[in-house]
Amino acid sequence: MSQRVSKEELRQRAEAWIEAGKMVAGPVRVKAGTVLYAPLPTADALLLDGWIRPANSIKEFVFPRHEVLYGYSVGAAGITLHETEPEPREQVIVGAHPCDAAALPILDKLFNWDYRDDFYNRRREATTVVTLACAVHDEECFCTSVGLGPAAERGSDVMLFDARDGAYEVRCLTEKGAALWGSDVERAPANKPMEAAGPERRFEPAEVAAFAKEHFEDPFWHEHALACLGCGACAYTCPVCHCFDIVDEGNARCGVRARNWDACQFALFTAHASGHNPRPAQGARQRQRIYHKFLMYPEKFGEILCTGCGNCARICPVGLGVLPVVKEICHAESV
């Protein structure tokens, strides 16, 4: 049996979660022209329509940009390490996109293979994702090319479908979602209500993987990366990019060891102290991005490291991004 919730009621629920002490995040217009997922100061700040998608992703709520791993202090007894992370607050993401929610099960694989990363797991456990199925898309979206779609359920605990009459149809997909909503778990019905047609499929991921494998040394990568300026905007706005650095910050008496986001596009990312750099040119670094997303991660974890959200292409100041590069690959293959 399907439930409905009006936009107003949704805001009221969000307000109730905020009052209950949860960290509630959702799309917020932080300033004119910029919509980001951010903690909601009040439920009124929640932006439910009038935009394609936020310029960032929800990964920062389970994998923060800067996360203290532990602290150290130096005293008479030597060096003591301190656990600094309290239990994370319960978090609710309201108004996530399917391409953001689907990132979480994809990232789960990396953060739990062999060694369980409990910094990530603790936050993941504490997070409930309420996803808004997409009613619109733009030309940068390509979720349907990577096995997702405007109503894809992966990673979502509750799914809301825009009934286009000021209300949403609600489906609680998991125990966690049902517990948050105060309802029962309901697998989605055979026909998804109000499912918008997503973007048409633009390419086959397997072909991209094959190209990357067979054309590792190809000058293609260098030609097509000439415009790339080597910033980290694509990696940082990506829902699934997860590379990080570990730094010590502090002085002789005390400090912390923390991890910070890092990106394979930076020139120094793979630079050795000896001066040798396995990826000295931007072309090699662009190649790594595609290789990691479409070949390495699928081979290792059975997942494409891309959800087709289009953030990279929208933010790239020089018009690159996964889809533009993949289009060039398909073009190169067909010639």
Partner 1 sequence: MSALNGFEPKIVAYVCNWCTYLGADLAGTARLEYPANVRIIRLPCTGRIDTNLVVKALEIGADAVLVSGCHPGDCHYSAGNYHARRRWILFRELLEVVGFDTRRLHFTWISAAEGRKFQQVITEITEQTRALGPYRPYESPALPPREDGAARPAGVLEKNFEESRRELREAARRLLEEGRVKVVIGYGARGPVFITKPEETGRLEWNANCLGNLTVYLKRPEVRALGAAAVVVKGCDERALVVLEKESQLRRDELQVIGLACEGLGQAKCEACETHRPSFADITIGNTAAQGATAAARYAELERFLERPREERLAYWTAEFDRCLKCYACRQVCPMCYCERCLADKNRPQAIDTSTHRKGNFAWQLSRAIHLAGRCVGCDECTRACPAGIDLRLLNLSLARAAEIQFDYRAGMDPAREPVVGAYSLQDKEEFIR
Partner 2 sequence: MEVIDVRQHTADVKSVRLRFKDAGRAKEFGFRVGQFGVFSAFGWGESTFNICSSSTWHDHIEFCFRKVGRVTDALWEAGEGDTLGFRGPYGNGYPTNDWRGKDLIFLGGGIAMPPIRCAIWYALENRADYGTITIVYGARTVGDLVYRDELALWAGHPRVRVIECVDPGGQTHDWKGEIGFVPTVFERAQVPAENAVALVIGPPIMIKNTIPVLERLGAKMSNVYTSLENRMKCGIGKCGRCNAGPAYVCKDGPVFTFEVLRQMPMDY
Positions touching partner 2 (CB under 8 A) are: 72, 74, 78-79, 110-111, 113-115, 117, 216-217, 242-248, 250-252, 255, 257, 259, 262, 264, 269-274, 276, 278-279, 284, 288, 291-292, 295-296, 299-300
30 belongs to the binding site for partner 1 (CB under 8 A): yes
- Burial profile 308-321: b = 16 or more Cβ within 10 angstroms, e = fewer: bbbbbbbbbeeebb
317 belongs to the binding site for partner 1 (CB under 8 A): yes
Stretch that binds partner 1, among 73-81, 156-164, 204-212, 222-230 (CB under 8 A): 222-230
From the list partner 2, partner 1, none, pick the one residue 260 interacts with, judged by a Cβ distance below 5 to 8 Å according to partner type.
partner 1
Nearer to partner 2, 160 or 305 (CB): 305
315 belongs to the binding site for partner 1 (CB under 8 A): yes
Residue selected from 32, 77, 79, 335 as contacting partner 1 according to rule CB under 8 A = 32
Tokens encoding 25 = 């995040």
Which H or E element spans position 62? none
Give the C-alpha separation, 174 to 22, whole Å.
Answer: 19
241 belongs to the binding site for partner 1 (CB under 8 A): no
Closest CA relative to residue 178, chosen from 124, 130, 123: 130
Indicate the DSSP class of residue 296.
I
136 belongs to the binding site for partner 1 (CB under 8 A): no
* CB of residue 277 to partner 1, shortest distance in Å: 12
* CB of residue 334 to partner 1, shortest distance in Å: 18
Query: Would strands 254-261 and 244-250 be described as parallel, antiparallel, or unpaired?
Result: antiparallel
Indicate the DSSP class of residue 323.
H
Tokens encoding 173 = 């997909």
Closest CA relative to residue 282, chosen from 262, 294, 292, 268: 268
229 belongs to the binding site for partner 1 (CB under 8 A): yes
332 belongs to the binding site for partner 1 (CB under 8 A): no
From the list partner 1, partner 2, none, pick the one residue 230 interacts with, judged by a Cβ distance below 5 to 8 Å according to partner type.
partner 1
Using CA atoms, how far residue 115 sits from 121, 124, 241, in Å, is 11, 16, 19
3-state secondary structure of 5: strand
For residue 55, the tally of other CB atoms under 10 A from its CB is 18
245 belongs to the binding site for partner 1 (CB under 8 A): yes
Backbone angles phi, psi at 131, to 5 degrees: -100, 140
Give the C-alpha separation, 222 to 288, whole Å.
Answer: 12
Dihedral of alpha carbons 180, 183, 184, 187, sign: negative
* CB of residue 269 to partner 2, shortest distance in Å: 7
283 belongs to the binding site for partner 1 (CB under 8 A): yes
257 belongs to the binding site for partner 1 (CB under 8 A): no
Question: In whole angstroms, what separates CA 260 from the centre of its chain?
Answer: 16
* CB of residue 268 to partner 2, shortest distance in Å: 9
3-state helix, strand, coil in the chain (%, to 5): 35, 20, 45
Residue selected from 144, 156, 237, 307 as contacting partner 1 according to rule CB under 8 A = 237
48 belongs to the binding site for partner 1 (CB under 8 A): no
66 belongs to the binding site for partner 1 (CB under 8 A): yes
Nearer to partner 2, 119 or 181 (CB): 119
Residues that bind partner 1 (CB under 8 A): 28-34, 36, 38, 41, 45, 55-56, 65-66, 222, 225-227, 229-233, 235-237, 245, 247, 249, 258, 260-261, 263, 266, 268, 281-283, 315-320, 324
